[in-house]
Chains A and B, each alone.
Chain A
Amino acid sequence: MLKSKTFVKKTRSGGVMKIVREHYLRDDIWCGSEVCTECKQESTVLQRDACIESDLCCFPHYLIPDTNVVLHQIDVLEDPLIRNVVILQTVLQEVRHRSAPIYKRLKDILHEQEKHFYTFTNEHHRETFIEREPGESANDRNDRAIRVAVKWYSHHLEKGGSDGPKAVLITNDQGNKEKAEESDLLVYKCEEYIKSLIANPELVDRLALANDEKNDISSSKVLFPEHFPLSRIQVGIKSGTFLQGTFRASRDNYLEATVFVQGEGEDSTEVLLQGLQNLNRAIHQDVVAVQLLPREQWLAPSSVVLHDEREAKDEDATEEEEKEKAMKNIADDAARKPTGRVVGIIKRNWRPFCGMLNSSLIKESTRHLFTPADRRVPRIRIETRQASALASQRIMVAIDGWPRHSRYPNGHFVRSLGAAGDKETETEVLLLEHDVPHQDFSQAVLSFLPKMPWSITPEDMAVRQDLRALTVCSVDPPGCTDIDDALHCRTLENGNLEVGVHIADVSHFIRPGNALDLEASNRGTTVYLCGKRIDMVPELLSSNLCSLRSNVERLAFSCIWEMNNKADIVKTRFTKSVINSKASLTYAEAQLRIDDTTMNDDITNSLRGLNKLAKILKRQRIEKGALTLSSLEVRFHIDSETHDPIDLQTKELMETNSMVEEFMLLANISVAQKIYDEFSECALLRKHPAPPPSNYDILTKAAKSKGLAIHTDSAKALADSLDVAKVDGFPYFNTLLRILATRCMMQAVYFCSGMDSDFHHYGLASPIYTHFTSPIRRYSDIIVHRLLAVAIGADSTYPDLTDKHKQSALCNNLNYRHKMSQYAQRASVAFHTQLFFKSRGILNEEGFILFVRKNAIIVLIPKFGLEGTVFFDSKDKTGPKLVFDEEGPTLMVEQHTFKIFDKVKVTISLDDSNVQHQKIRMSLVDPVIPGVSVPVTEVEPPAKKPKLDC
């Protein structure tokens, strides 16, 4: 039977279009129930004895939730207890429209067999399809469609006998419920139903709090101004009275935030928000509308650190006001920034937050405050009866809403992640908090892996160059299993050298557009944590088929240069190839071979040739103005059994590190040039913008304190002045300066060549750059491989590859994932450092002052690559006299003046007073300042057997 659906739509160009879709109705859509004898279905989903102990329904029944129940109570539906649910197509479509993440979760439930969730395509069923009536809103029609389907179900199931299961509609809409009751349907409110489940009271915790204003009589005082409706906001934004931007809460001050307003082109501004009223219930990452305050009310950002640590009380607003007043320091006009207030929320960006419960002081209370791990997110009030059990656990909580009269947002418990302090739990938390996709690869993804045993086919050989005879070897850090690059070097007959960089041919295995490709592009990068790796592609590829291990035949993408002895490139060519690596070396092994004059085999000669060229290349690069920066990277010695860190050392750099790096850079630059020549509009490149001059203020000030000048006009000038900046008797000074210089830099980013005009890579002093050499761990490299393969005619193209807008969107995701993976990595190192110090007890170490702040100094301990803050003021007692001079910058504490780069001695200990935010605490030992520094504590000898029960 054919029906048509008609609707009118406004087109983007402002026209109005009438769209007619054909809609077919069928009579072969089955009900999915085991009891049904009428439907000719092959397999059933809904069980015969769909019993769940409930006060309300003591008979077997199937639940049919409406859209709002699914949207708000998805956490309940996900519970394994809830089974035998019919999801109507109407509901599914509406959910898909309203919230993509919830739609995905719902789809996941539907696929799970144990859940017995059935999708009933009521919109295509002959008896349950209804047409919209005149004067009926779209929502009313959908509600009616749901009721009609429930009606159909109850009639249909009755035919199987009166003791068979019944259909129960779950809705929270009063009007819908009444109408359903009128037509004799079994209908309950979600809360009503869940509370009736006798056996499982804990499910109630997962119920999202309904925005039932009248239920909440506890505090009727309105704390926040109202949000404007969306229509008014849109008008305001158009006319320029409101500004739209992303809300970014301050990490250090819960009463302060900024809104980043993206302007046209480079013209973007930041609006400062201060005070609870002005923040007006916005939460970090929300898209909000702000209104600027008149200029005379503009404020300067406060430099006070404030944490919301009060008990859950709504009344003491006065205290808040005092704090707000304290913040408003009298600032001169220059420091004032545009200040505004939030007038409305355009899009909430809530996700489930990880954190811990602060149990209420009252024992029987079911209302508790939850403190998220992310300091930028306010505390959330949840209702739970398992507070005592959850108290020491990391849990996830979702926000349901933030009424105007509540000091905190309301939320509900989602799930527990495990005991706090536990390594697995903490790793899970930091992955979730940094939005790192880390689930196991789905079956769909794995289905695109090559079948094992895998071998190179003659077809592969036919289109590839056979380089198996070459003496190729790989040099990597120890323990590396995803080897994506290998090198070779040999002397040609004409005296020139042939150098090859061979990169794992990942794009051969990952074909564009399939599930494997989509998953990899979403993950964007492999994330390396301490003792754990979150792969971008399944392990079979990353550690086996793509990994260029020694003595196996592997597919590669090779970049081969002919160079003369001065390392000038005579010829460059790219080819898909087959290689057979002769050795997988570590940096140290390779270094030993080069240094050992007795060795003269092919591999060693090849390495020597490479090393010689690399030195020339490096010199050339530095002459052009490439920067050598420094950051301390630490490496943990991990106990092989307990996986706990037992020692910590900074990574050493050897000549071979820079040898490999040099050729990777060269390959990246060569490839970048090639793909840009071939695809000027859609090449995926990487740029590193030059930092604005103001970024260097801290560096020049620091150097000036030692009587040195740093020139920052160009990369070259900077590199040169860094090279000559040395202080006698202070060998570490240069490294410190380079660490500071690193902090001044901008973030390097991927971009699409058609969307930008500035390609320059500042740090490498290269006019063009991309990433080609690590396709196993970076998705950008896979795209670059595909582009290059098309450029040399080795592979075919596909539409998305040459679509610059899609390319650009991909770059945004890659940049985001890259940034997040770095943060996750840092967080992981910080956590392991804490574990380490926990086992080591208190240590005394020497360090250097890296920054001087108003009330603290930041000290770097080179031995551990650890940075910590020594505070001079404390909460409880009156602090010492502090005089801060911004020019130096110097800080005078009582009699002693601290300058940048001063050598100090500190004790290091773990501060675990706050389980959620454990931190390394440093206190001053030397210089001795009475009342400030602490006496030298005896260093506890490390326990013979470090016992870690965290």
Chain B
Amino acid sequence: MATVQLSEAEKVYVLHGIRDDLRVDGRSCEDYRHMEIETDVVSNTDGSAKVTLGHTAVLVGVKAELGKPRPAAPEEGYLEFFVDCSANATPEFEGRGGEELGMELTNTLYRVFNNKRSVDLGSLCISPGEHCWLLYVDVLLLQCDGNLYDAISIAIKAALFNTKIPKVLISEGEEGGTEIELSDDPYDCVRLSVDNVPCIVTLCKVGHRHVVDATLQEKACTVASLIMAVTPAGTCTCTRKVGRGSLDPESIFEMTEAGKRVGKALHGPLMSLLLQEETLGKKRQKVGFLG
């Protein structure tokens, strides 16, 4: 993971600032940095989104493919995640440098998203036990400036919102299975409900306090952090502690409460933004990667 080297004096400066609820870039402890979201940026995916958070930039593409439901859940489709830590993001990822981080991120994403309480997996099923949609969610890190989890989760939520799955008709063959037919109208597609899709909020314990959306400098001062997935209703669906240091139960409780509060506040503006973008329709001038 991209790290910065801080001197003792710098650390003390950051620490003292946070103690007084005034961070290096002027934010308070529960503030996010400036965030930009654009959807439908990659035309050959079924749904895509690009999110920049401070200088962190991630791109998420969703591709729908026909598959067979897993035997354990015959009436559900499923998601597949892959995180590509490109060397564009930081030179450390060159070669196989990003692999470990990629695995870690991927595993977390499976835990957070690949269950029917988070994503409406039932709607991905076409015919139980035979055909379902499986969504390949590919995450590409473009730039690392701290707080990858939050940025990725927001991008995934936006991309899933943007995903348009072609409508298929199932015709029953007289004997031996079903036949899938595609509609020839490209506008004829189904959308995925993202009502319950959580976002990840990472809380970093710095000194006695904790901050959200830590920059790389703040990260360097952290002993331990808590990753939690929070639904729009404010329920926490998943928590995970990372980092070498330990957290006492009281501060875990405090951090969870703060995470729920922040997460709930994050979903509202996110959804309204996505809906607003949607109303602009096809005529919208795309920003893309050069804007």
- A interface vs B, CB < 8 Å? 4, 6-10, 14-16, 18-20, 131-138, 235, 238-239, 241
With A10-B182, A135-B187, A137-B185 known as contacts, the answer to whether A235 contacts B168 (CB < 8 A) is: no
A134 neighbours in B (Cβ, 8 Å): 185, 187
Tell me whether B173 and A16 are in contact (CB under 8 A): no
With A6-B43, A238-B173, A239-B175 known as contacts, the answer to whether A18 contacts B184 (CB < 8 A) is: no
Report how many A-B pairs have Cβ atoms within 8 Å: 51
8 A-B pairs, CB-CB below 8 angstroms? Answer: A7-B186, A9-B182, A16-B65, A18-B44, A133-B187, A135-B187, A136-B185, A239-B174
B166 neighbours in A (Cβ, 8 Å): 8, 16, 18
- Decide yes or no whether B64 CB sits under 8 A from chain A: yes
- Decide yes or no whether B46 CB sits under 8 A from chain A: yes
- Decide yes or no whether B66 CB sits under 8 A from chain A: yes
CB of B252, distance to nearest CB on chain A (Å): 44
Q: Report Cα–Cα, A133/B45, bound state, in Å.
A: 20
Tell me whether B173 and A239 are in contact (CB under 8 A): yes
A20-B44, A132-B186 are known contacts; what are 13 more A-B pairs with Cβ within 8 Å?
A6-B43, A6-B186, A8-B182, A14-B66, A16-B64, A16-B65, A16-B66, A16-B166, A16-B168, A131-B282, A136-B185, A239-B173, A239-B175
- B interface vs A, CB < 8 Å? 43-46, 63-66, 166, 168, 171, 173-175, 180-182, 184-187, 282
CB of B2, distance to nearest CB on chain A (Å): 33
CB of A40, distance to nearest CB on chain B (Å): 30
Q: Report Cα–Cα, A178/B184, bound state, in Å.
A: 26
Tell me whether A135 and B173 are in contact (CB under 8 A): no
A7 neighbours in B (Cβ, 8 Å): 186
A235 neighbours in B (Cβ, 8 Å): 171, 173-174
Q: Report Cα–Cα, A18/B46, bound state, in Å.
A: 8
Q: Report Cα–Cα, A135/B171, bound state, in Å.
A: 22
A19 neighbours in B (Cβ, 8 Å): 44
Tell me whether B185 and A135 are in contact (CB under 8 A): yes
B182 neighbours in A (Cβ, 8 Å): 8-10, 16
Q: Report Cα–Cα, A9/B180, bound state, in Å.
A: 12
A131 neighbours in B (Cβ, 8 Å): 282
A241 neighbours in B (Cβ, 8 Å): 174
Which chain B residue shows the least CB distance to A138? Answer: B184
Q: Report Cα–Cα, A138/B185, bound state, in Å.
A: 7
CB of A132, distance to nearest CB on chain B (Å): 7
B64 neighbours in A (Cβ, 8 Å): 16
B44 neighbours in A (Cβ, 8 Å): 18-20
CB of B272, distance to nearest CB on chain A (Å): 24
A136 neighbours in B (Cβ, 8 Å): 185
Q: Report Cα–Cα, A15/B136, bound state, in Å.
A: 14
Q: Report Cα–Cα, A137/B173, bound state, in Å.
A: 26
Tell me whether A15 and B173 are in contact (CB under 8 A): no
CB of B42, distance to nearest CB on chain A (Å): 9
A10 neighbours in B (Cβ, 8 Å): 180-182
Q: Report Cα–Cα, A235/B172, bound state, in Å.
A: 9
A4 neighbours in B (Cβ, 8 Å): 43
Q: Report Cα–Cα, A135/B182, bound state, in Å.
A: 15
Which chain B residue shows the least CB distance to A239? Answer: B174
A239 neighbours in B (Cβ, 8 Å): 173-175
Q: Report Cα–Cα, A136/B184, bound state, in Å.
A: 10
Tell me whether A20 and B43 are in contact (CB under 8 A): yes
Residue with the highest number of chain B CB atoms closer than 10 Å, among A4, A136, A235: A235
B180 neighbours in A (Cβ, 8 Å): 10, 14
Q: Report Cα–Cα, A99/B92, bound state, in Å.
A: 58
B181 neighbours in A (Cβ, 8 Å): 10
Residue with the highest number of chain A CB atoms closer than 10 Å, among B63, B166, B181: B166
A137 neighbours in B (Cβ, 8 Å): 184-185
CB of B267, distance to nearest CB on chain A (Å): 29
A14 neighbours in B (Cβ, 8 Å): 66, 180
With A4-B43, A235-B174, A238-B173 known as contacts, the answer to whether A15 contacts B185 (CB < 8 A) is: no
Q: Report Cα–Cα, A9/B186, bound state, in Å.
A: 10
Which chain A residue shows the least CB distance to B189? Answer: A8
B46 neighbours in A (Cβ, 8 Å): 18
Q: Report Cα–Cα, A326/B185, bound state, in Å.
A: 54
Residue with the highest number of chain B CB atoms closer than 10 Å, among A15, A16, A132, A134: A16
Tell me whether A15 and B43 are in contact (CB under 8 A): no
CB of A455, distance to nearest CB on chain B (Å): 56
Q: Report Cα–Cα, A481/B190, bound state, in Å.
A: 70
B185 neighbours in A (Cβ, 8 Å): 134-138
Residue with the highest number of chain B CB atoms closer than 10 Å, among A4, A18, A135, A239: A18
Which chain A residue shows the least CB distance to B173? Answer: A238
Q: Report Cα–Cα, A235/B176, bound state, in Å.
A: 12
Q: Report Cα–Cα, A135/B184, bound state, in Å.
A: 11
Which chain A residue shows the least CB distance to B172? Answer: A235
Q: Report Cα–Cα, A368/B171, bound state, in Å.
A: 46
Which chain B residue shows the least CB distance to A133? Answer: B187
Which chain B residue shows the least CB distance to A234? Answer: B179
Q: Report Cα–Cα, A136/B186, bound state, in Å.
A: 10
Q: Report Cα–Cα, A238/B186, bound state, in Å.
A: 28
CB of A291, distance to nearest CB on chain B (Å): 14
Q: Report Cα–Cα, A15/B46, bound state, in Å.
A: 14
Which chain B residue shows the least CB distance to A134? Answer: B187
CB of A536, distance to nearest CB on chain B (Å): 43
Query: Which are the 5 A-B pairs with shortest beta-carbon distances?
Result: A239-B174, A134-B187, A20-B44, A8-B166, A20-B43
Which chain A residue shows the least CB distance to B67? Answer: A15
A135 neighbours in B (Cβ, 8 Å): 185, 187
CB of A11, distance to nearest CB on chain B (Å): 9
CB of A430, distance to nearest CB on chain B (Å): 44
Q: Report Cα–Cα, A15/B68, bound state, in Å.
A: 11
A8 neighbours in B (Cβ, 8 Å): 166, 182, 186
Which chain B residue shows the least CB distance to A4? Answer: B43
CB of B52, distance to nearest CB on chain A (Å): 24
CB of A761, distance to nearest CB on chain B (Å): 42
CB of A337, distance to nearest CB on chain B (Å): 27
Q: Report Cα–Cα, A752/B198, bound state, in Å.
A: 61
B173 neighbours in A (Cβ, 8 Å): 235, 238-239
Q: Report Cα–Cα, A6/B182, bound state, in Å.
A: 14
Q: Report Cα–Cα, A14/B185, bound state, in Å.
A: 18
CB of A232, distance to nearest CB on chain B (Å): 11
Q: Report Cα–Cα, A785/B43, bound state, in Å.
A: 49
Which chain A residue shows the least CB distance to B187? Answer: A134
Q: Report Cα–Cα, A352/B43, bound state, in Å.
A: 46
CB of A399, distance to nearest CB on chain B (Å): 29
Q: Report Cα–Cα, A7/B137, bound state, in Å.
A: 20
Q: Report Cα–Cα, A241/B173, bound state, in Å.
A: 12
A18 neighbours in B (Cβ, 8 Å): 44-46, 63, 166
Q: Report Cα–Cα, A14/B170, bound state, in Å.
A: 13
Q: Report Cα–Cα, A134/B183, bound state, in Å.
A: 13
A138 neighbours in B (Cβ, 8 Å): 184-185
CB of A884, distance to nearest CB on chain B (Å): 47
Q: Report Cα–Cα, A14/B67, bound state, in Å.
A: 10
Q: Report Cα–Cα, A134/B185, bound state, in Å.
A: 8
Q: Report Cα–Cα, A137/B185, bound state, in Å.
A: 7
CB of B170, distance to nearest CB on chain A (Å): 13
B186 neighbours in A (Cβ, 8 Å): 6-8, 132
A6 neighbours in B (Cβ, 8 Å): 43, 186
B175 neighbours in A (Cβ, 8 Å): 239
Q: Report Cα–Cα, A241/B168, bound state, in Å.
A: 26
Q: Report Cα–Cα, A132/B64, bound state, in Å.
A: 23
Tell me whether B65 and A15 are in contact (CB under 8 A): yes
CB of B65, distance to nearest CB on chain A (Å): 6
Q: Report Cα–Cα, A132/B282, bound state, in Å.
A: 12
CB of A708, distance to nearest CB on chain B (Å): 56
CB of A779, distance to nearest CB on chain B (Å): 40
Q: Report Cα–Cα, A105/B22, bound state, in Å.
A: 78
Q: Report Cα–Cα, A16/B169, bound state, in Å.
A: 13
Q: Report Cα–Cα, A19/B166, bound state, in Å.
A: 12
B43 neighbours in A (Cβ, 8 Å): 4, 6, 20
CB of A260, distance to nearest CB on chain B (Å): 25
